[in-house]
Chain A
Amino acid sequence: MALLTLVRDLLQTPAVATALWIGSIVAVVSGCAGVFTVVRGQSFAGHALGDVGSTGAAAAYLTAVQPLYGFLGIGLLGGLAIDRLGNRARERDVATGIVLSLTMGLSALLLFLITEQTSATGGPLSILFGSIFTVAPAVTLPVELFSLLALGLLAVLYRPLVFASLSPETARARGVRVGLVGTLFMVALVIAVEESSLVAGALLSTALLIGPAAAAVNWTRQIGHTLALSAFLGVAAVVLGIVLSYESYFWPPLHRGWPVSFFIVMLVLVEYIASRLWRRRREATA
């Protein structure tokens, strides 16, 4: 019965209901894009995109635009720059590093100007560590649309993307346009990362992208199953994280509530460790 009361409380608090809905959508997109990110070895680019997007979010705060558009706009620019600059795997990390440091430099300036010029008190903190409970209801529709776009891209690209990710040389020889596939995937990746920056913050968006995907890779063998499990693990971490954050209102320091991003990251870690242990046992018995 206590559980029923809790669920009713959660859904009747508008901020929490919105958070649960947006958080779940974002977790699905991140979980799916994350599997390809892990398989393609693009974890660093995935992390960098979150930081790159924070520059856009800071600019958005300064100009009173919705932070989501700042995250997405600069994230897309940065993502395409990373994609263009680094064609081979070895160049890719360098290109990512260059784009990352350039935009972070700009970000330092913008975050300073926020404290200096505006009254957006919590700007830097919510950009870097997320603030899912204060996401404006007006953001719900754009998040839904962009998520559909990202999932649509992944669905359309599915076969060539799997092929190009697992063995790019063979794929190229068979006539798959590996470069184009990579660029389009980058668009989906940018959407996934920037949306999860809104939930968990620019610094922690990687956790939602890589964590559930890496755990799912340990648990499954078929890529279809991996995608489904990764999305499920992501949603589980986000929903449970939000519920725990809501409950932490009654923990010390009383009535302050712990940040959602802390719980999400901890839950993702638990999922990943469990998958590693499971895999070790399986390998030991095999």
Chain B
Amino acid sequence: MTRGRAYLIAGLVALLVIAAAALVFATGSPAAKPAAQQKTLVVLGAENEYANVLAQVGGRYVRAIGIMSNPSTDPHTYEASTTNAREVAQASLVVQNGLGYDSFMQKLEANAPSTRRIILTVASIVGAPPSTENPHLWYRPSTMPAVAQSVAKALSQLEPQHKSYFARRAAAFDRSLGPWRQALAKLRQDFHGAKVVVTEPVADYLLQAAGLDVATPWSFQAAVMNGQDPSPQDVSTVDSLISTRQAKVLVYNLQAVEPTTESLLAIAKAHQVPVVGVNETMPAGFDYQHWMLAETQALTAAIGQHKSEVHLK
């Protein structure tokens, strides 16, 4: 009997270890990073949309790394890993969002003190006070041009001999945002004041810039953003906005999925309200300007032609 029991314990332990190992391997480990080259600066974006701007401005003189780069996870609940700690220690320039969105960066930076490293916080670049409720600053059309300017300045400080190169590339980046600005202006002109329902505040700045009316109560958006359950009253309000088709489109955050948001998706489908999926983190195959352009075009198609686009093409 005691021996039987010992086998049982051993079996149980083995089972759990195997299950754990299988999970770790199944989810995959990232490929090994090449060693930093001598000539290039390692620059770090806490989110990969900032890393993308760093790469576009820094060009051939930088190697840009994004910490939050998996578009299927939720940055709000992200926990830093040891790889991230090593990358922060190597970096000469860091761009982070601030407003508590990427508070893990402060811990990583405190753990690897350096006098050489320049840290740019986007919230201070754009002058967003700490009380700002919606941290998704990169959705504001004026944010990235300002970030690009600050990045060019910081890189010139690190490598003064390439100052004009960085300034040229920052200006080129600014120009490349033209098509997005035009698409936003067109959306504003055609559908100003149209009601939209969102699951989460991620794209609110873009929607407001396009003159659309975000009808979801803020308490609902904040609850989903913070991983809490929205109150039943708010859920009813949002449900009826969709089921009475007052909302012209449901803007769905693909990176904050919950039973509540999934049920909104079902209601939208049942009442033929188009759905547009948006990301917190830049999806693969896009750069910043084309990502924003694609989401704006998807919104225009949804409101104008009732087309859903849950995943960007």
Is the beta-carbon distance between A116 and B73 smaller than 8 angstroms?
Answer: yes
Is the beta-carbon distance between A121 and B16 smaller than 8 angstroms?
Answer: no
Q: How far is the CB of B259 from chain A (nearest CB, A)?
A: 4
- What CA separation (Å) do A99 and B11 show in the bound complex? 12
Report if B31 contacts A (CB, 8 A): no
Q: Which residues of B contact A99 (CB under 8 A)?
A: 12
- What CA separation (Å) do A190 and B27 show in the bound complex? 30
Q: How far is the CB of B308 from chain A (nearest CB, A)?
A: 19
- Known contacts: A81-B8, A102-B12. The answer to whether A119 contacts B74 by CB under 8 A is yes
Is the beta-carbon distance between A121 and B260 smaller than 8 angstroms?
Answer: no
Task: Give how many A-B residue pairs fall within 8 Å (CB-CB).
Answer: 118
Report if B133 contacts A (CB, 8 A): no
Q: Which residues of B contact A136 (CB under 8 A)?
A: 259, 263
Interface size on A, residues (CB 8 A): 42
- What CA separation (Å) do A15 and B260 show in the bound complex? 10
Of all chain A residues, which has the CB nearest B260? A134
- What CA separation (Å) do A255 and B230 show in the bound complex? 9
Q: Which residues of A contact B236 (CB under 8 A)?
A: 13, 15
Report if B229 contacts A (CB, 8 A): yes
Interface size on B, residues (CB 8 A): 43
Is the beta-carbon distance between A119 and B256 smaller than 8 angstroms?
Answer: yes
Q: Which residues of A contact B27 (CB under 8 A)?
A: 113, 116-117
Is the beta-carbon distance between A13 and B232 smaller than 8 angstroms?
Answer: yes
Is the beta-carbon distance between A134 and B73 smaller than 8 angstroms?
Answer: no
- What CA separation (Å) do A136 and B259 show in the bound complex? 7
Main secondary structure of the interface of A (DSSP, over half): helix
Is the beta-carbon distance between B79 and A116 smaller than 8 angstroms?
Answer: yes
Of all chain B residues, which has the CB nearest A255? B219
Choose the segment among A125-133, A169-177, A178-186, A233-241 that binds chain B (4+ C-beta atoms closer than 8 Å).
A125-133
Report if A252 contacts B (CB, 8 A): no
A 112-166 contacts with B by CB, 8 A: 112-113, 115-126, 131, 133-136
Q: Which residues of B contact A126 (CB under 8 A)?
A: 229
- Known contacts: A121-B77, A125-B227. The answer to whether A81 contacts B254 by CB under 8 A is no
Partner of B78, one of A110, A115, A133: A115
Listed by A's residue number, 18 A-B pairs whose Cβ atoms lie within 8 Å are A13-B232, A13-B233, A15-B232, A62-B23, A81-B12, A98-B9, A116-B78, A117-B73, A119-B73, A119-B256, A121-B256, A122-B224, A122-B227, A122-B228, A134-B260, A249-B232, A254-B219, A256-B219
- Which A-B residue pairs are the 7 nearest by beta carbons? A257-B231, A122-B227, A255-B219, A134-B259, A121-B227, A115-B77, A119-B255
13 A-B pairs besides A106-B16, A113-B27, A257-B229 with CB distance below 8 A are A13-B232, A85-B8, A85-B9, A112-B79, A115-B77, A115-B79, A119-B72, A121-B77, A125-B228, A134-B260, A249-B234, A256-B223, A257-B230
